[in-house]
Amino acid sequence: MIRVTRPMSIGAIVAGSLALGAAQALAQDPLADMTKDPNQWVMTGRTYDLQRFSPLTQITTANVKNLHAAWSFSTGTLRGHEGNPLVVGNVMYVHTSFPNKVYALDLSKPGAPQIWQYTPDQDPATIPVACCDVVNRGLAYHPSGKLYIELLQGDLLALDAKTGKKVFQVKHAGDADFKTGSTMTNAPIVIKNIVITGISGGEFGVRGHVTAFDAMDGHELWRGYSTGPDKDVGITANTLVSPYPSAQGKDLGVTTWQGDEWQHGGGTTWGWYSYDPKLNLFYYGSGNPGTWNPDQRPGDNKWSMSIWARNPETGEVKWVYQMTPHDAWDYDGVNEMVLTDQMIGGKEVHTLSHFDRNGFGYTLDRTNGKVLVANPYGATNWAKSVDLTTGRPVEDASKRTTAKGNTEGICPAAIGFKDQQPSAYSPQTKLFYVPTNNICMDYEGVEVKYSAGQPYVGAIVRMFPGPGGNRGRFIAWDPREGKVVWEIKENLASYGGALATAGGVVFYGTMEGWLKAVDAKTGTLLWKFKTPSGIIGNPMTYVGPDGRQYVAVLSGIGGWAGIGVAAGIGADDPTAGLGALGAFGDAGSFTTQGGVLTVFALDKAM
Amino acid sequence: MIRVTRPMSIGAIVAGSLALGAAQALAQDPLADMTKDPNQWVMTGRTYDLQRFSPLTQITTANVKNLHAAWSFSTGTLRGHEGNPLVVGNVMYVHTSFPNKVYALDLSKPGAPQIWQYTPDQDPATIPVACCDVVNRGLAYHPSGKLYIELLQGDLLALDAKTGKKVFQVKHAGDADFKTGSTMTNAPIVIKNIVITGISGGEFGVRGHVTAFDAMDGHELWRGYSTGPDKDVGITANTLVSPYPSAQGKDLGVTTWQGDEWQHGGGTTWGWYSYDPKLNLFYYGSGNPGTWNPDQRPGDNKWSMSIWARNPETGEVKWVYQMTPHDAWDYDGVNEMVLTDQMIGGKEVHTLSHFDRNGFGYTLDRTNGKVLVANPYGATNWAKSVDLTTGRPVEDASKRTTAKGNTEGICPAAIGFKDQQPSAYSPQTKLFYVPTNNICMDYEGVEVKYSAGQPYVGAIVRMFPGPGGNRGRFIAWDPREGKVVWEIKENLASYGGALATAGGVVFYGTMEGWLKAVDAKTGTLLWKFKTPSGIIGNPMTYVGPDGRQYVAVLSGIGGWAGIGVAAGIGADDPTAGLGALGAFGDAGSFTTQGGVLTVFALDKAM
């Protein structure tokens, strides 16, 4: 592991780290060891691969009908609750929406009383800077007994997991200042002694990046930008040459932009991060190019809308693949990268699966970024397919937007056929379980001038339900064939995450507040419970000190899809909430605000 | 029923109503008829007698262990949730803390989706005027299909129960203006076509009163003050002469005060109201005299701290009994008056039972206000007993407070051995079930000058746990003998209401968030569930359209006892929150804010 006393350029770090060699990459990783215990849930996706799969088997397709609420806990904040708690030993750690409170709950006592709570001191002026509700996607844990949370106002906060006392709070130095439009909302990832964070603010012309901090004292280790010259991006001599011609060349993060537009070029990094310890690479996506108006930024706008593989110690880019060149739809590429191994073309491949906002479900070779499968997982119409030789979408020109007029009937909408809601994967069924939106849109670019800290949207979007009128689907997806195996129609977007379990049960939430359990093989509904508020969080499962398997989920409507309820916006203007109100116009009636954790278990008698 | 087009003096109304005679008093009352259906819960205490007893028997002492959460609902507001929902037909009506939202939920559909919601438009400047959190104690229903709620800022709001549209919103005319310190927090009572409301603001020098409005159009019918000349108070020639000498005389609401102190003399009226249809009298209590500093108001300070019986159509006082003359402890007399019939002294008496903040449990003859039993229900030490010949407490002079110094170790504290949390009564066991506080205090009067709209407290109070260190008890009480039959110690105040059922099960909540079920005969704990937040609301029960018995309770910490959590006050100053922080100093750790209704049912399989 490399530690530097002040931020260094990625080039300098790489030079220093080469001497350490591959042995370093496979060094002991106590956190990875902890994930081998199925009773705990020590990182956001349970394991580094983000499969959100639990090996626990107490709750089965046969007995899940006997699942009951065991206890519940109010988070004390009302806005949208994305993410999920962690369970380390006998303690559950719960995060909240702004002001990003953190609670430690004692699972060894009835009703899980608080051990401690911590409320960060944040500037409320941050609130209107968050484009799509003041959500937070959760905590990261370090085996030294530290918890990390990214604060909306742009700080990385470390707490002592035992006492709840602050260990450090560091500014996301430089441009991560909410006054310039930067916020932080995603769950950090801990890899060995490094904490890697993302940035939000794609609607404010923020220049996206990932930044690594020392887990012990919070000093910045490196930063890798999404746009700009290769040295800023972390593209080095060790970066693999892309198999796709349009991705070959020097400083594409500058040359695929007009003028200095790359400096406020978006490519923010607020999704879920995965990590492959053997390859020593972490994976994430970058978001939309700055301003949604495509006419203001001719070119591919690299490396917005891309899948990234980086070395966590140096920040060096191993490979990068742009899914949506010259975006004209706000198809942020931030959705999670789930790591599995699949038999494809007769051989086992270390794959990465990704359900993009652009409507395509991708399976890549995660060693080199080569696209193996890319098929629509919904009624996508802006592109017919992805050309596997060029890596580029085969567009329908009539659906490419412009500031010259309103482009109608585009599917998916800006919110994508999937947004933040993370999918799950079951190695038993070899299927992905994907909560999706079924939302389409009209989109019209609008000339906008960049002004630091001011919205830099540049488009008027009206979203509406997609084909069939149902606004969401929960699907099972074969990543080898790139096809939907079964689907459940949902009236509202399926905007919370999925959980797959070895009991053959898959869990997901709905915006109305139902937590549902379905058969992983068939999608048959086995059980449901109405939680207090709409669910946009991720169910998780653990075994308590009493030896029983529990399932926990945060309810608390909000996020982009739920912004109408969360921010109290009326449905009169369908373009309000960046278009969300058009799709979820009855926001006031389907649920109510409120952050509550509900924890379920089978009856003791069962 | 008397209708007048504008407010009339009570004397004028009485003159008009005498011609109507007793037949009028026994006129048809569709709402009283609705209370005969045990499946519904159409008024705050289920029946006019405020017994909070349900004849339902599906849930029993034998099967209550199989009770499970059936569904839950977030109210969308965080502050303290007192009171309980109503169930009329297949619809549940839920109220919230400020801004006093109202929801109609469809019990005939899974998860009880919203039919409508209504958010009153209130001035947030009201918030700091509420002495002890921005609670609301609930709704009243009228068989014409109207719902009534008292808004914190001082309006009576009527909604169409079917559509949620506003029928009328009337100012609580005159002095009920939050800018003068008046707020409204209690549940109104509907009696025939009259809606009777109370007033809060005893800490702002408000002159307490009850006011009656026409249920159809909201015009004011009459007003009865707690202080002032007999004509304002509603004491007429028909008012019974008190059996107690100190309560005999003209204009005692003026003459028992110094100067014009009666004009801001407190006696507010924010408790639960009961009604006896046969006697055509409604019952309620009045609160503390204005300024807590007794040295500024020599005299009995009538009619603060009193139990009232009034005619609902005229406002005329039938009788009034002052429990705590010249209060020096803030022993508000507002707690509920529960109407039962009891065999006392060998004959059946129409009784009224009342557990006063002053620590005495009273049983009165409700036809004439005569005290039959008055015994301490906790470790009361400010008075040894109540003299049944004078009706006055036999004080311990060392516990009478003054501005000349700090008086220490007074039991109960200002918050009383019971506050707003309403008791229940079971006609099966003939016992009362009383949630209590076990809190004592030090109290020091402080000179204070009246200024409209400014706090007029005039005392520094430090509360602390009472004998034994447990801050609450849940007790069973024999109203005939005036004695505790059994008790359950609670770590925190038992600050939510009680529910008694014909299944032999009694329910109550705790400030930690537990809903508990105990055996009505023995107090044995049979079942408990941890709701999301501390419970200060009242459990209720009903039968749903599916024929199953449900139990519902609002959780949502707050109120005076929970003000530390609700208003985010630190525990550094034990006199903060009018002394509550001294008693509940660990406010930050025992629960979290959040308004959630949780609804329970037995497993279908049971």
Q: Does B53 touch chain A (CB under 8 A)?
A: no
Q: Which residues of A touch B74 (CB under 8 A)?
A: 532-533, 555-556, 591-594, 596
Closest listed residue to residue B292, CA positions, set B382, B375, B203 = B203
Q: Which residues of A touch B110 (CB under 8 A)?
A: 528, 530
A374-404 pLDDT, tens digit per residue, is 999 999 999 999 999 999 999 999 999 999 9
- Please tell me which residue of chain A has the smallest CA distance to B554: A532
Q: Which of A76, A588, A598 sits opposite B117 (nearest CB)?
A: A588
Give the DSSP H or E segment for B580.
helix B580-583
A559 and A82 in contact (C-beta within 8 Å)? yes
Q: Where do runs of H (alpha helix) occur along A104-154?
A: none
What is the average per-residue pLDDT within A436-461? 94
Cβ distance A594 to B75 less than 8 Å, yes or no, reads yes
pLDDT confidence tier of residue B4, bands split at 50, 70 and 90: very low
DSSP B170-182: EE-TTT--GGGT-
Question: Is the per-residue pLDDT at B21 higher than 50?
Answer: no
- In this prediction, residue B175 carries a pLDDT of 57
Closest listed residue to residue B511, CA positions, set B82, B140, B66 = B82
A327-345 pLDDT, tens digit per residue, is 999 999 999 999 999 999 9
Residue B55 CA to residue A151 CA, distance in Å, equals 52
Closest listed residue to residue A412, CA positions, set A374, A357, A373 = A357
A490 and A474 in contact (C-beta within 8 Å)? yes
- In this prediction, residue A595 carries a pLDDT of 97
Provide the β-strand partners of residue A321. Answer: A307
Shortest distance, CA A440 to any CA of chain B (angstroms): 26
- Please tell me which residue of chain A has the smallest CA distance to B555: A74
B109-122 pLDDT, tens digit per residue, is 999 999 999 999 99
Percent of chain A topping pLDDT 70: 94
Closest listed residue to residue A69, CA positions, set A595, A523, A553 = A553
Say which residues have a Cβ less than 8 Å from residue A181's Cβ, sequence separation at least 6: A129, A201, A203, A204, A205, A206, A452, A453, A454, A455, A456
- Interface probe, candidates A65, A68, A73, A74, chain B, greatest B C-beta count within 10 A: A74
- Please tell me which residue of chain A has the smallest CA distance to B66: A603
The tokens of B530 are what? Answer: 């941890």
Cβ distance B74 to A588 less than 8 Å, yes or no, reads no
Q: Which residues of B touch A593 (CB under 8 A)?
A: 74, 76
Residue A215 CA to residue A270 CA, distance in Å, equals 20
Residue A305 CA to residue A308 CA, distance in Å, equals 10
What is the average per-residue pLDDT within B302-311? 98
Average pLDDT, chain B: 93
Tell me the catalytic residues of B.
Answer: 330
Say which residues have a Cβ less than 8 Å from residue A449's Cβ, sequence separation at least 6: none
Q: Where do runs of H (alpha helix) occur along B263-391?
A: none
- In this prediction, residue A1 carries a pLDDT of 23
Higher pLDDT, A506 or A19: A506
- Please tell me which residue of chain A has the smallest CA distance to B565: A76
Q: Where do runs of H (alpha helix) occur along B322-371?
A: none
Give the strand order in the sheet containing A220-225: A189-191, A194-197, A209-214, A220-225
- In this prediction, residue A23 carries a pLDDT of 44
Q: Does A598 touch chain B (CB under 8 A)?
A: yes
Residue B504 CA to residue B61 CA, distance in Å, equals 6
Question: Is the per-residue pLDDT at A265 higher than 80?
Answer: yes
Cβ distance B113 to A590 less than 8 Å, yes or no, reads yes
Angle, alpha carbons B119-B124-B126 (nearest 5°)? 110
Question: Is the per-residue pLDDT at B604 higher than 70?
Answer: no
Q: Which residues of B touch A110 (CB under 8 A)?
A: 528, 530
For the four alpha carbons of A365, A497, A566 and A94, in that order, the dihedral sign comes to: negative
Q: Which residues of B touch A111 (CB under 8 A)?
A: 512-514, 530
Cβ distance A589 to B76 less than 8 Å, yes or no, reads no
Q: Which of B71, B78, B103 sits opposite A76 (nearest CB)?
A: B78
Residue A140, SS3 per DSSP: strand
Q: Does A534 touch chain B (CB under 8 A)?
A: no
- In this prediction, residue B9 carries a pLDDT of 57
Please state whether the predicted TM-score (pTM) of the whole model is above 0.90: yes
Closest listed residue to residue A290, CA positions, set A450, A466, A178 = A450
- Please tell me which residue of chain A has the smallest CA distance to B79: A76
Return the half-sphere exposure (C-beta side, CA atoms, 13 A cut-off) of residue A284. 31
Q: Does A163 touch chain B (CB under 8 A)?
A: no
Shortest distance, CA B564 to any CA of chain A (angstroms): 13
Q: How far apart are the first and last CA of chain B?
A: 49
- In this prediction, residue B583 carries a pLDDT of 87
- Please tell me which residue of chain B has the smallest CA distance to A554: B532
pLDDT confidence tier of residue A7, bands split at 50, 70 and 90: very low
Higher pLDDT, B13 or A6: B13
Question: Is the per-residue pLDDT at B576 higher than 90?
Answer: no
A52-111 pLDDT, tens digit per residue, is 999 999 999 999 999 999 999 999 999 999 999 999 999 999 999 999 999 999 999 999
Provide the β-strand partners of residue B459. Answer: B445
Residue B357 CA to residue B321 CA, distance in Å, equals 15
Q: What residue type is B565 in one-letter code?
A: V
Question: Is the per-residue pLDDT at B106 higher than 90?
Answer: yes
DSSP-derived letter for residue A128 is: G
> How are the residues of chain B apportioned to helix, strand and coil, as percentages rounded to the nearest 5?
10, 35, 55
Q: Which residues of A touch B112 (CB under 8 A)?
A: 530
Shortest distance, CA B584 to any CA of chain A (angstroms): 16
Provide the β-strand partners of residue B93. Answer: B86, B104
Q: Does A439 touch chain B (CB under 8 A)?
A: no
Task: Output phi, psi for B289, to 5 deg.
Answer: -70, 150
Closest listed residue to residue A137, CA positions, set A587, A568, A583, A560 = A560
A72 and B531 in contact (C-beta within 8 Å)? yes
Question: Is the per-residue pLDDT at A493 higher than 90?
Answer: yes
What is the average per-residue pLDDT within A250-263? 97
Residue B526 CA: distances (Å) to CA of A109, B59, B75, B516, B603: 18, 12, 28, 8, 16
Chain B 546-565, residues with CB within 8 Å of chain A CB atoms? 555-556
Q: Which of B111, B116, B594 sits opposite A74 (nearest CB)?
A: B594
**Exposure string for A418-432, b = 16+ CB within 10 A, e = fewer:** bbbbbbbbbeebebb
B381-435 pLDDT, tens digit per residue, is 999 999 999 999 999 999 999 999 999 999 999 999 999 999 999 999 999 999 9
Residue B538 CA: distances (Å) to CA of A335, B138, B432, B502: 45, 10, 15, 17
Residue A274 CA to residue A233 CA, distance in Å, equals 19
The tokens of A17 are what? Answer: 């780290």
Residue B575, SS3 per DSSP: coil
Q: Does B60 touch chain A (CB under 8 A)?
A: no
Percent of chain B topping pLDDT 70: 94
Average pLDDT, chain A: 93
Question: Is the per-residue pLDDT at B365 higher than 70?
Answer: yes
A289-303 pLDDT, tens digit per residue, is 999 999 999 999 999
- Please tell me which residue of chain B has the smallest CA distance to A531: B72
Question: Is the per-residue pLDDT at B338 higher than 90?
Answer: yes
Question: Is the per-residue pLDDT at A157 higher than 60?
Answer: yes
Q: Which of B76, B113, B531 sits opposite A594 (nearest CB)?
A: B76
Q: Does A227 touch chain B (CB under 8 A)?
A: no
Give the strand order in the sheet containing B140-142: B140-142, B146-150, B155-160, B166-171
Lookup result for tokens 């008075």: B383
Say which residues have a Cβ less than 8 Å from residue A603's Cβ, sequence separation at least 6: A66, A68, B603
Cβ distance A530 to B68 less than 8 Å, yes or no, reads no
Q: How many CB pairs under 8 A join A and B?
A: 114
Q: Does A112 touch chain B (CB under 8 A)?
A: yes
Tell me the catalytic residues of A.
Answer: 330
What is the average per-residue pLDDT within B245-271? 96
- Please tell me which residue of chain B has the smallest CA distance to A71: B530
CB atoms within 10 A of CB B133: 27
Shortest distance, CA A288 to any CA of chain B (angstroms): 33
What is the average per-residue pLDDT within A132-157? 96
Q: Which residues of B touch A112 (CB under 8 A)?
A: 530
The tokens of B544 are what? Answer: 């749903």
Higher pLDDT, B605 or A249: A249
What is the average per-residue pLDDT within B293-319? 98
pLDDT confidence tier of residue A27, bands split at 50, 70 and 90: low
A531-540 pLDDT, tens digit per residue, is 999 999 999 9
Q: Does B588 touch chain A (CB under 8 A)?
A: yes
Provide the β-strand partners of residue B189. Answer: B196
The distance from CA B209 to its chain's CA centroid, rounded to whole angstroms, is: 15
Say which residues have a Cβ less than 8 Å from residue A369's Cβ, sequence separation at least 6: A240, A242, A243, A307, A309, A318, A319, A320, A321
Q: Does A527 touch chain B (CB under 8 A)?
A: no
Shortest distance, CA B533 to any CA of chain A (angstroms): 6
Cβ distance B596 to A596 less than 8 Å, yes or no, reads yes
The tokens of B176 are what? Answer: 């009920």
